[in-house]
Structures are given as C-alpha cells and as structure tokens.
C-alpha cells in the first residue's frame, strides 16, 4: 500500500549544527504533515504542506514539499537541546482522514 | 480545556482478556483517531471516526473494535488480547487536519 519512508532513522548532532530529515513516497501525495514527539511524550503537530514546491518556515524550522509532491523535508538550523525528539511525517489519502505516518527520525542533540 | 484525555494510562492484561480504552476530547472536534506505536514502527492508524456514530478501518484494524456513541468520546476495545497487541496506544482528535494527541496508554499483554 501507499507509504512513506523517512531517512535517516537516527541522527546525532552537536548543539548548533544543522539537521535535516527526509520523507519520500513512491506515489504523489495530496498533503504532508510533520509532527514532533519528545521522549516519553505524545506527537505534536508542527505543520501541513499541500502545494507543489511549498516552503514554510517556523523560526529555525524550514519545511519543504517537493515539486512532484513525492517528497518532503524538515530542516532545523542551529539545533538546540530543546529540539531533541522524534520527527514524523504523515499524509492522508486524498479525500479521507486516513493517515499514514512515517517511521520517524530520532534526533539527539549533544551539548 | 483538558484537550484529549485517555483512560487508563497503564494496563497489564493476560492473553485472552478483554478491555476498553477510553478517549475523550473537549474541543468539539468531529474527527477522532486511534493509533498504536511500536518501537521502530512509527504510528499506525487502527480505526478512525469522522463523526458521531461513524467509524472506519485504518491501517491495522484486526483485533480491535471501536465505537463513537458520543461526539466527545471514542472507545477502543480489545475483545481477546494477544501479546502482539502490547503497545502504546494514542488517541487523537482534529477539527480539520491538525491532530491533537492524548498522552497515551501503555498496554502490556502477557
């Protein structure tokens, strides 16, 4: 079935370094969402992208949706210890509320 | 506003036992979801509901049943628990596309 692959699975960075996680699909997506889950916590919605080539920024976070709507990325500039957690992408089948989540990228920030 | 709450927080079952997980939201959201989260697997949708009295199957519905008798509540039932159902269960609700998650229920089936 339709699914998304997230890479990398894990990433350790020094505080202040940049971080990027990628979400790839073999088929065209109607939308892509990003969530953050802190260790021991629950997922928290970050953003949704729906347009081809869309780029959105939230402070140090930059989200992109590919031109072909088959991939997306989340880039964090100058990571901080508060960025620690697992980042998930997710999409809903067109016209439905049936969501599929990626396997996530676990980010560890070393102070 | 409490947001999304889940009951219980933790539970240990023996194989074959049944139980119901309760999810409640006070945001008047139409849409509600049940997910399970296993290590390395991300979140997988079990069942979801687009409104009171309606339910639909998600990605991994087998072994689970749900009911949405009231708009604010979404119940997840396990009729005969199996060790493969050991997981952390998250409920979520949404008005449109932004999902709000509850704190989760950690279930262990022995």
Rounded CA-CA distance B41/A12 in Å is 20
Nearest to B64 by CA among B86, B41, B47, B51: B47
A52-81 residues touching B, CB cutoff 8 A: none
Mean pLDDT score of chain B, rounded to an integer? 96
Residue A96's pLDDT is 86
> Are A97 and B48 a contacting pair at CB < 8 A?
yes
pLDDT in the model for residue B40: 76
Task: Number of A to B CB contacts under 8 A, please give it.
Answer: 55
DSSP β-ladder status, B10-13 and B105-109? parallel
The pLDDT assigned to B104 comes to 98
Of B42, B56, B103, the CB nearest to A101: B42
For residue B41, name the pLDDT band (cuts at 50, 70, 90): confident
Q: Is B39 on the interface with A (CB under 8 A)?
A: no
Whether B1 shows a pLDDT value over 80: the answer reads no
| Distance of residue A32 Cα from the nearest chain B Cα, in angstroms | 10
Q: Which chain B residues in 59-78 lie under 8 Å from chain A, judged by CB atoms?
A: 59
Residue in A closest to B103 by C-alpha: A42
Kindly state whether B88 is in contact with chain A, defined as any CB-CB distance less than 8 angstroms: no
Looking at residue A7, its pLDDT comes to 96
pLDDT in tens, B78-99: 999 999 999 999 999 999 899 9
Q: Is the pLDDT of residue B7 over 90?
A: yes
Least CB–CB distance from A88: residue in B40, B42, B94: B42
The alpha-carbon gap from B14 to the nearest alpha carbon of chain A, in Å, equals: 25
Top-confidence residue, B78 or B42: B78
pLDDT at A1: 67
| Cα A102 off chain centre by | 9
Residue partners of A48: CB distance under 8 A and separation at least 6: A31, A32, A33, A34, B97, B98
Chain B nearest C-alpha distance from A44 (Å): 7
Burial status of residue A21 (CB atoms within 10 A of its CB: 0-12, 13-18, 19 or more): buried
* Comparison of pLDDT for B23 and B96, the residue scoring more: B23
Per residue in B51-61, pLDDT tens?
999 999 999 99
- Check if A13 contacts B (Cβ < 8 Å): no
Counting as low any pLDDT under 50, the low residues of chain A are none
pLDDT of residue A94: 83
Percent of chain B topping pLDDT 90? 93
Q: Using a CB-CB distance cutoff of 8 angstroms, which residues of chain A are in contact with residue B99?
A: 33, 35, 43, 45, 99
Q: Of the candidates A33, A41, A102, which has its C-beta nearest B42's C-beta?
A: A102
């Amino acid at each position: 079935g339709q699914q998304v692959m997230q890479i990398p699975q894990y990433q350790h960075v020094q505080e202040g370094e940049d971080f990027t996680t990628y979400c790839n699909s073999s088929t065209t997506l109607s939308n892509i969402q990003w969530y953050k889950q802190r260790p021991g916590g629950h997922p928290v919605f970050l953003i949704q992208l729906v347009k081809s080539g869309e780029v959105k920024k939230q402070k140090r976070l930059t989200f992109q949706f590919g031109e072909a709507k088959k991939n997306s990325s989340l880039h964090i500039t100058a990571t901080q210890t508060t960025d620690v957690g697992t980042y998930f992408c997710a999409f809903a089948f067109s016209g439905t509320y049936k969501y599929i989540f990626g396997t996530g990228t676990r980010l560890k920030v070393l102070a | 506003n409490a947001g999304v709450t889940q009951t219980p927080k933790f539970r240990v079952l023996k194989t074959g036992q049944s139980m119901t997980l309760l999810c409640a939201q006070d945001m008047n959201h139409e849409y509600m979801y049940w997910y399970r989260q296993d290590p390395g697997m991300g979140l997988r949708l079990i069942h979801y509901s687009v409104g009171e009295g309606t339910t639909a199957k998600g990605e991994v519905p087998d072994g689970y049943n749900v009911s949405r008798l009231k708009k604010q509540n979404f119940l997840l039932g396990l009729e005969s628990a199996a060790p493969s159902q050991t997981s952390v269960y998250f409920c979520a609700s949404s008005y449109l596309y932004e999902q709000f998650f509850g704190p989760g229920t950690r279930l262990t089936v022995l």
